[in-house]
Chains A and B, each alone.
Chain A
């Protein structure tokens, strides 16, 4: 039953991703120019001449002389085989461009998410169980502040005060001397020392909204009759809370896991630019600006794949955790 469900979901992923990829490709094709024209124009503006023979070669190699449909299928076919195309800007395969930064991105995002959860859960539970108390109002206010202040602004503020007060440069993910160095004990230490600031900044908003969501969901569940039943049995308050309402409010949290997967890889673009982090965020931004289409397109499609897989993981986890979904699947009227 569950196995068939998973299989069906995987099969549905194929058309979903095909449509997504077609959309991505169309959007990439929409501007009247392409990378080469932008490149030639840029060169001309600087009074230099672009290497036309090389451009002609690349154009032929990547099929820019052929109709877009053909190019689309060429791209997809290679993508499936693990060849994500060639970045014109960096003059190397997309995989190598992204690969270096991916590990760092995942590290930053993973720590951010972990921090979000560790901070948000206790606060959310406290806020919900002490609704309308001063602590609840205070925590709500701080949380809203975290949501309302844009990350990049927070980053700028941090950088400014770190510099003014401590004379520190907090940008980057490691000391500049370790850039492009192979991994070593010292480099790892340097990364860890730099890590906490981006994690704090990027996590601020996420924590705020997470607290709001946990509070709202838990408040809903606290009104439910089964919680009264649990208390009527004589369960101690904390156990009654964790076994029933908290357990039920986890459904929202689990369905949220699906969104986490692409977020891990994408990195917060703007904050990363401001803090000059060596993550994938700034890379994607630059690729979109310069119409480096294979880099941008493949990266976006990769994110789409992760989204779809993330949602599938959420749904399977939900089915495991909630017997209503497991046992009544599909029998909604």
Chain B
């Protein structure tokens, strides 16, 4: 590395941390060394279980009660007190010396901006508390300092926001408040633990930019802890890659991204989807799985190509799912509530994958739930085309609905809460068959074994409970459950957003394989554009309950017409040093999901004025139909 350690704010040397579990020590950090130079950003990258968060807790003296530093040093050199080194590892965790540094000279920002702030104290109170602890001011002056800090982190009206509560703020603003709290004492070091993971992509870009700006303003060093290589490429000067409590590779961002050495790092880089992937290109999962197609499936898979080729002759495959003018309002009496889904229409072709992209609150999940009939739509139609003719899903009731259910299944976001902890895997996979009365006991068990093989899990695990599986394995159990009844359409609601990058590639590949071999049709709901790019042939972009743009993948990614789609695409951090986010242009000052910030052509004055305008090739955009094609493509 470049210079000797004199200018390092933080130097961790051979750090070992153990947790006592049931009286047994369990080492989770195994001799980690890293450094953070003054005023620079160092990213500590790793998947869950890499020990990256534990390291940050150790620096802050915030290890859980059963965690202990068994060896090593955490040397903190405060630039304000040159020549003085403090070994944080040797300090009493809650002692006076540690407390003076914590929050004063070292600030910290956490992942969950909602739960990190107390809901019963105003944010002003919470931020000012940090100031008063370390740099006491007279009361009125303290408020002024706090308001100046709120202004600095981008609150529009600091005076009013001082008295607001965290639940009155959006996720992005909450994270800004956290930054204000961590930085109000102008620390020498900021530790940011997944600071943008819980945020939407455009908000993420804003917060990343803010962190860069504040670094310029305050001059602190940043230890950025993240699993997202895209964020790393855009923020870090130096990178440390951790895996299972050990450093795999460390170096400058240039070295890490251009000349990765360690196989783990190389694999990690290959496992993350990006926009450059060609159609048909496969992600390389760290541990790939080969699904075994069971006999029953094989039979069905044999039929499908014949059926598809036969049907392909007339231009395109037939429409399986057709959604028209779907609407849903929450709360309020008759129209007074929040419009969650507004006039949504799209078609999904048989065997295709339609990606539904949007930020939180865009209504994308609600659409999925309404198609599943787990929530009722206010109006509109959901038609599933069948060999025997169209089925109106919204009109199905009682036995007819029950008989129809097996044809549509769902894969959920959270692999933990979507599996009952009190049921064995066998019971979980069998449950749909039991509900539908499909086959005898023995047949159901045989089928469960086939399904386990199908998702690459050992059938001997059937008698285990979900807690003994990892996140990726649980998600595969969820997939096995979803395909248990041979559905035609599967709604995937953020199926990989809770998974690590390496496992994410594995699950995505599995979904692709199953789609090809079983002829499945997917509605793939996600906030992650790279994942949707990998999975979907057609993509619909939702904002504020409406589809603002829909089209073939390439049209959306290369010729996006809607300003919202453009903003989304620009805000995605890519793990590529040559295409860093241009913070000056990619970060709109205002929220781009708010139609008020769109140009006239896309805003529409009167209600109902906007319509889907055809740009050719099945590429449609929500705009004022009065404008010309040139207006739209120029915008």
Contact = CB atoms under 8 A, between A and B. Distances in A.
B53 to A, nearest CB: 11
Contact of A234 (B99, B118, B178): B99
| Main SS at interface, chain B | mixed
B62 interface: yes
Given A228-B110, A233-B102, A234-B104, A248 B117 contact: no
A91 B523 CA distance: 79
A-side interface size class: 20 to 34
B99 A236 contact: yes
Interface string B124-154: 0010011001100000000000000000000
Interface string B309-326: 000000000000000000
A228 B181 CA distance: 13
Given A232-B62, A232-B103, A233-B103, A323 B119 contact: yes
A232 B129 CA distance: 12
Nearest to B98: A234
A116 to B, nearest CB: 25
B120 A324 contact: yes
Interface string B56-67: 000010100000
Interface string B108-124: 10101001111111000
Given A247-B120, A324-B167, A234 B133 contact: yes
A231 B116 CA distance: 11
Contact of B115 (A226, A234, A237, A322): A226
Nearest to A236: B99
Interface string A32-75: 00000000000000000000000000000000000000000000
Given A322-B120, A333-B331, A232 B60 contact: yes
Interface string B88-102: 000000100001111
A103 B376 CA distance: 58
Nearest to A326: B165
Contact of A327 (B115, B133, B168): B168
A80 B99 CA distance: 61
A324 B121 CA distance: 10
Contact of A232 (B102, B112, B118, B121): B102
Interface in A202-255: 224-226, 228-237, 243-244, 247-248
A224 B60 CA distance: 17
Contacts of B168: 327
Given A232-B60, A235-B129, A323 B165 contact: yes
Interface of A: 224-226, 228-237, 243-244, 247-248, 321-324, 327-328, 331, 333
B330 interface: yes
Contact of A229 (B94, B110, B133): B110
B88 to A, nearest CB: 13
B60 A225 contact: no
B130 A225 contact: no
Contacts of B107: 232
Contact of A244 (B110, B118, B134, B178): B118
Nearest to B60: A232
Given A225-B116, A233-B129, 13 more contacts: A224-B115, A226-B116, A228-B116, A231-B62, A232-B107, A233-B133, A234-B99, A234-B102, A323-B119, A324-B119, A324-B120, A324-B165, A327-B167
A327 B164 CA distance: 10
A243 B99 CA distance: 17
A226 B178 CA distance: 11
A237 B95 CA distance: 9
B165 A234 contact: no
Contacts of A333: 330-331
A229 B167 CA distance: 16
Contact of B94 (A237, A243, A248): A237
B331 A225 contact: no
Please provide the 7 A-B residue pairs with the shortest distance between their CB atoms, ordered closest to farther.
A234-B103, A233-B103, A225-B115, A234-B102, A233-B130, A234-B99, A226-B118
A328 B167 contact: yes
A323 B121 CA distance: 8
18 contacts: A226-B115, A228-B62, A228-B110, A229-B116, A229-B126, A232-B60, A232-B62, A232-B103, A232-B182, A233-B181, A234-B103, A234-B130, A236-B94, A244-B121, A248-B120, A323-B165, A323-B167, A324-B119
Contacts of B181: 229, 233
Contacts of A324: 119-120, 165, 167
A122 to B, nearest CB: 20
Nearest to B117: A226
Contacts of A231: 62, 94, 102
Contacts of A328: 167
Contacts of A228: 62, 110, 116
A321 B120 CA distance: 8
A244 to B, nearest CB: 5
Interface string B258-294: 0000000000000000000000000000000000000
A237 B61 CA distance: 12
A138 B116 CA distance: 33
Contacts of B165: 323-324, 327
Contacts of A248: 118, 120
A247 B126 CA distance: 14
B120 A234 contact: no
A236 B133 CA distance: 9
B545 to A, nearest CB: 15
Contacts of A229: 108, 110, 116-118, 126, 178, 181
